[in-house]
Amino acid sequence: MTVTEFNWESTHQITYYGIEWKPDLITRGVIILVHGLGEHSGRYRHVAQILNHKGHAVIASDHAGHGQTGGKRGHVDSYDCFFEELETLLERARKNFPNLPVFLYGHSLGGSIVLAYLLKHKPKVAGAIVTSPGIKLVSDPGVMLFFGKILNRLVPSTALNNGLKLEGLSKDPQVIQAYKNDPLVHPWISARLAIELIEKGEWIRDNGDKINVPVLLLHGNSDKLTSVEGSRELAEKNRQLITYVEWDGGYHELHNEPDKDRVFEVILDWLENQLQDSTS
Whether the Cβ atoms of residue 230 and residue 208 lie closer than 8 Å to each other: no
Kindly report the CA angle at 220 between 216 and 226, in degrees rounded to 5?
95
3-state SS of 209-245 is HHCCCCEEEEEECCCCCECHHHHHHHHHHCCCCEEEE
Reply yes or no on whether 108 is catalytic. Answer: yes
CB crowding 228-260: b at 16 or more within 10 Å, else e:
bebbbbbbebbeeebbbbebeebbbbbbbbeeb
* Active-site annotation holder among 223, 227, 231, 255: 223
* Active-site annotation holder among 56, 219, 252, 255: 252
Reply yes or no on whether 219 is catalytic. Answer: no
- DSSP secondary-structure letter at 97? S
What is the biggest distance separating any 2 CA atoms in the chain, rounded to whole angstroms?
A: 55
Euclidean distance between CA atoms 99 and 74, whole angstroms = 35
**CA-only gyration radius of the chain, Å:** 17
* Active-site annotation holder among 61, 108, 132, 227: 108
- DSSP secondary-structure letter at 187? -
Whether the Cβ atoms of residue 226 and residue 136 lie closer than 8 Å to each other: yes
* Amino acid making up residue 173: P
Reply yes or no on whether 107 is catalytic. Answer: no
- Residues with a known catalytic role: 108, 223, 252
